[in-house]
Each structure stands twice: as structure tokens, then as C-alpha cells.
Amino acid sequence: MRLRCIPGATEKLENHPKIIQDEKCLKGKWHTQFSNNHPIHIEIGMGKGQFISTLAKQNPHVNYIGFEKFTNVLVRALGNLDDEAMENLYAIRMDVEEILDVFEEGEIERIYLNFSDPWPKDRHDKRRLTHHGFLERYEKVLTSGGKICFKTDNQLLFDYSLEEMEKHHWKVEKVTRDLHNSPYLEGNVMTEYEEKFVGLGMPIYRLEAFK
């Protein structure tokens, strides 16, 4: 999908207090940005920010960081970041391939992967965010017992992700192929995509994984 260019998007991000500009300088020191030692949860591919901003409001004793690599997507999330009272949420304009430059080993408690690009062609499998190359990065930044929470509408991506995680010795639990008709729905926070897919009657696939 081609993203519509938003005039002045780069400048808006550079001047917004919730967009981190020096994220690599905070590696191992994120507690100084949040001024506390609360656990850190991140969402990779935060889109318009509905999911992560809702979590931040619900859980003031958890710190949240959203990753989004597309400038024209992240600028659309600014409305969900503007609440000055929400001091536990920041966003980074960055590709997750650089995650090891941003976080120290064991610095993150939870990673959310919501409706990631499925990259359906076999030759593009290394770009899928559940490819073992990314799983190795996640393992390094996660705390002992830290976990990945993964949701998708794409059955092929879900099957692929299950296989990758199990093959590379991740323990998978709370697996469902129809989240909204499962025991795991309680406490679920929906993304914009999820609302759309559920409205169309499509099943949502979900799992949690940890080492």
C-alpha cells in the first residue's frame, strides 16, 4: 500500500515532545527518560497508536514505547500521543532491525506484534517480524520470562510464526485461531485494523511466546 505524503510530517515529528529523537543514546538508560524503573513494553509497528495509547492509559505503572518506521504513519499517531498526563508513553521513528542499538539486554518485559505485514512471498520471509532473525533480537532485549504477544488476521503468517517459534525453542501458549470467541478475549485491546476485521466477521489469530 502506498502511503500518502503528509506535508511537513518530518518537522511535526521532530518538534513533538513524545517522539524520541536520540533513542540510541538511551540504550540501557530508559529509566532516565521515564524517571522511574517501571517495566517497559514496546509495540513494533504502532500505526496510528490506538492500541498502545489505550494500554498506557490503562496501566500507568508500565512504560510504553511504540516503534513505527514510516514517517507518514507515525505523524497520524500524534493525536493519540498528545495527552500531557500520559507520561508513560513515547514513540520512536525507526525500523525494528535496529532494536539492539536502542535497548540493552533484558531491558524490555513485553513485545507486541499486531497485524504485521505478512510478506506473503517465500523470498521475503526474512522480512516477517516473526522470522527467526527477529526472534533472536527479541530474545536479547527481553527480560527473563519476558514475552511476545502476537495478533494477526493472516492465517498463513500465523502458521508460519507458530512454526518459527517452536522450531527455535520458544514456548507458545494461549494460542487461539478465533480470539473474539475464545477464553483469551478478556482484557483484549483492539487496534484500528482489528476493529475493521472483526466488523467484517474475520477471525483474529493470537498467541503469546517466551523463552
Say which CATH number the domain at 198 has: 3.40.50.150
The SS3 assignment for 203 reads coil
Asked if the structure places residue 41 within a domain, the reply is yes
Q: 95 labelled as ligand-binding?
A: yes
> Residues 65-92: pLDDT tens digits?
999 999 988 998 998 998 877 899 999 9
> Residues 141-185: pLDDT tens digits?
999 999 999 999 999 999 999 999 999 999 999 999 999 999 999
Give the mean pLDDT of the chain: 94
Paired strand residues for 181: none
Q: Where are the alpha helices (DSSP H) in the chain?
A: 9-14, 30-34, 50-58, 71-74, 78-81, 132-141, 155-167, 192-199
Give yes or no for a contact between 24 and 99, defined as CB atoms under 8 angstroms apart: no
pLDDT category at 15 given cuts 50, 70, 90 is confident
Q: 163 labelled as ligand-binding?
A: no
DSSP 103: S
For 158, residues 6+ apart whose C-beta sits below 8 A from its C-beta are: 152, 177, 205, 207
Asked if the structure places residue 205 within a domain, the reply is yes
Instruction: Pull the grid cell for residue 38.
Output: 517501571
Asked if the structure places residue 99 within a domain, the reply is yes
> Residues 112-146: pLDDT tens digits?
999 999 999 999 999 999 999 999 999 999 999 99
Sheet with 89-93: list strands edge to edge.
19-20, 89-93, 63-68, 40-44, 108-114, 142-152, 205-210, 171-176
Asked if the structure places residue 22 within a domain, the reply is no
**Residues assigned a catalytic role:** 117
Asked if the structure places residue 79 within a domain, the reply is yes
Q: 205 labelled as ligand-binding?
A: no
Q: 112 labelled as ligand-binding?
A: no
Instruction: Write down the residue that cell numbers 476485521 correspond to.
Output: 197
Range of the domain at 128: 28-210
pTM: 0.94
Distance (Å, rounded) from C-alpha 65 to C-alpha 41? 6
Opening angle at CA 117, ends 93 and 154, nearest 5:
145
> Residues 140-149: pLDDT tens digits?
999 999 999 9
Asked if the structure places residue 23 within a domain, the reply is no
Pick from 11, 108, 14: nearest CA to 65: 108
Asked if the structure places residue 1 within a domain, the reply is no
Asked if the structure places residue 200 within a domain, the reply is yes
**What is the count of structural domains for the chain?**
1
